[in-house]
Chain A
């Protein structure tokens, strides 16, 4: 397994374990966790708190009988067939999508050619937006492809921003981010990412919908691609 250098905030890992992240943020974390043992361990630790809560919670009364459910239980043979079936499903995905980020595959339009998926937003920068209603609670979920050496404008955010690098790398004031790394930015952080020179940098970016505090931090800049 790879060992990413930059990880989500522990507050984000806790919310992942609690099941309270927005759909976009959860998707991003699913991908990072698939390649990061260190975060898997941390999530397991706070999931254990969920287990404690489950044991502590007042038991509700079940109205239906268990018989209906028992009648639905798969036989051992059916269970075996289920397992075999799952092992054989290999989603076809674009070559730039790493193995550990296959969870993104269902959200890509496989009918389209790769070059048609990407929508140009500025010189050297193109994007794929995930506009499914599932992501309605996120302000935006998008893949960004940044040409080698491209310098993004300096920007801040009115909400928090999660970035996961899928391919290539970029650097900003907070460090160098490579495949598997996550930048988990608080709203008050300004940064200016620059894609490194060798390959295009492809990343998944999830921005949080700010609710009441939209005006709380002055908008430092309205980024040109509408973050």
Chain B
């Protein structure tokens, strides 16, 4: 177990993207469902397709496959936009679910365990650096920081409020696609501990995200 994070026990701060930005995409997706306007689709594509591809690259290291599935996801956005209800979920959540389901449907047999591009420790070492910076008084994020780096920080940021084990369990669930028994085997802890850790994480995520719905 990685003990570097034991200081990170504060509640998850609701690190939401500016709500206006979220609302913007919710609105575009809603109107896409009503009007099937290609310009709106292009806007959604340009913002979300690279993110969906990046998400899928967590599960497959085949770039062309991730890209194809990202396009398939956006095709479904076009087809199913009329089902989107902004009062129930943010556009990003709805598209996350489409991408997730496409990936699940593709897994025909036992999970394809393809080499993953990034792992928990890459993202967490970054979190560690951030915390050190913040503990020493905090600095402004440099304007020049590239998008990838900022985004990566945001993942770490989202997991920050969780104690180390819970952060790891959540990470493995969402970004490595591992089931309780797979996580138990990975971390060499009993399934019961995986479940109780995820139960606690559930409560914290619920508290921190509940307000944003």
- Which A residues have a C-beta under 8 Å from some C-beta of B? 9-15, 18-23, 25-26, 42, 44-64, 66, 68-70, 72-74, 76, 79, 82-83, 133-134, 136-137, 159-160, 186-188, 208-213, 216-217
Contact = CB atoms under 8 A, between A and B. Distances in A.
Nearest to A160: B191
Given A11-B198, A11-B199, A18-B173, A56 B181 contact: no
Interface string B163-190: 0000000101111111111101100101
17 contacts: A19-B100, A46-B205, A48-B213, A49-B209, A51-B89, A51-B92, A53-B55, A54-B52, A58-B54, A60-B50, A66-B42, A69-B75, A74-B78, A186-B195, A210-B191, A212-B185, A213-B184
B78 A52 contact: no
A159 to B, nearest CB: 6
A25 B111 CA distance: 14
A45 B210 contact: yes
A42 B188 contact: no
Nearest to B12: A49
A60 B38 CA distance: 22
Interface size class of B (residues with CB under 8 A): 35 or more
Given A53-B55, A76-B36, 15 more contacts: A9-B199, A11-B180, A19-B103, A20-B176, A44-B93, A53-B174, A53-B175, A59-B151, A62-B53, A64-B67, A73-B38, A73-B78, A137-B179, A208-B180, A211-B181
A19 B198 contact: no
A111 B88 CA distance: 40
Contacts of B191: 159-160, 186-187, 208, 210, 213
A197 to B, nearest CB: 33
Contacts of B190: 187, 213, 216-217
B97 A83 contact: no
A18 B174 contact: yes
Contacts of A216: 190
Contacts of B157: 56
A11 B195 contact: yes
Contacts of A53: 55, 96, 155, 158, 174-175
A48 B109 contact: no
Interface string B22-59: 00000000000000101001100110111111110100
Interface of B: 15-17, 36, 38, 41-42, 45-46, 48-55, 57, 63-64, 66-67, 70-71, 74-75, 78-79, 82, 88-97, 99-101, 103-104, 107-111, 147-149, 151-152, 154-155, 157-158, 170, 172-182, 184-185, 188, 190-192, 194-199, 201-203, 205-206, 209-210, 212-213
B48 to A, nearest CB: 8
Contacts of A159: 181, 191
B50 to A, nearest CB: 4
A68 B74 CA distance: 12
A10 B185 CA distance: 20
A11 B181 CA distance: 12
Contact of A57 (B155, B206, B212): B155
B199 A52 contact: no
Given A61-B50, A73-B41, A44 B213 contact: yes
Contacts of B201: 14
Contacts of A217: 190
A99 B97 CA distance: 24
Nearest to A186: B192
A40 to B, nearest CB: 9
Given A45-B206, A60-B57, A160-B181, A50 B192 contact: no
A57 B67 contact: no
A52 B209 contact: yes
Contact of A62 (B36, B50, B90): B50
Contacts of B53: 59-60, 62
